[in-house]
Amino acid sequence: MSTNSHAPTGTARTDTADVQVVRAFLDALVAGDPDAAQQYLHQDIVWHNVSLPKIRGLGAVMRILRGMSRPGVGFDVRLHHIAGDGTAVLTERTDVLIYKRLRSEFWVCGTFEMKDGKIAVWRDYFSSRDFLWGTLKGIVRAF
């Protein structure tokens, strides 16, 4: 994972516990380890890719995350910015969805709402146009 996890020169990075949870969750997804990722999710998790239907509950979310870890399927992330604000963690990142040789890269802003030290709401905002463009570029690169 290319997380840009190092602070800019001359500054110190001091992550809150909630920011550390989100970083560890994303690291587990990149590692293709949904079981490790599960420990960071609240039982009543709601995952919402804005403009798509919400996915509710740990079982439903885990079915999708396990599907993302099948052979030939994967996920990567380049984390550009991450910040904690109260019980929310905000991210700006480039997500990479991988299917065999196809890599679809697109910009995402995410909000992770925390409850009891776990991710209770995972809301991602992205442009459908950027997602389509990233997929088309990935198809060209794959061939």
Token pair, residue 16, equals 């809150």
Beta pairing, strands 41-49 & 118-125: parallel
Domain housing 136: 17-142
Determine the average pLDDT of the residues in 12-20: 83
pTM of the model: 0.83
The per-residue pLDDT for 96 is 93
Cβ atoms 41, 59 nearer than 8 A: no
In a domain, residue 11? The reply is no
In a domain, residue 53? The reply is yes
In a domain, residue 7? The reply is no
The per-residue pLDDT for 10 is 46
Distance CA 66, CA 34 (A): 6
Pick the residue with more confidence: 9 or 86? 86
In a domain, residue 45? The reply is yes
Cβ atoms 97, 121 nearer than 8 A: no
The per-residue pLDDT for 133 is 64
In a domain, residue 10? The reply is no
| CATH number assigned to the domain comprising residue 44 | 3.10.450.50
Q: Tens of pLDDT along 73-130?
A: 999 999 999 999 999 999 999 999 888 888 888 899 999 999 999 999 999 998 777 7
The count of domains in the chain is 1
Distance CA 54, CA 60 (A): 10
Share of the chain above pLDDT 70, in %: 84
The per-residue pLDDT for 130 is 73
In a domain, residue 86? The reply is yes
**Could you give the residue numbers annotated as active site?**
95, 124
Please count the CA atoms within 13 angstroms of the CA of 135 that sit on its side-chain side: 8
What secondary structure, in 3-state letters, does the chain show? Answer: CECCCCCCCCCCCCCCHHHHHHHHHHHHHHCCCHHHHHCCEEEEEEEEECCCCCEECHHHHHHHHHHCCCCCEEEEEEEEEEEEECCEEEEEEEEEEEECCEEEEEEEEEEEEEECCEEEEEEEECCHHHHHHHHHHHHHHHC
In a domain, residue 73? The reply is yes
In a domain, residue 1? The reply is no
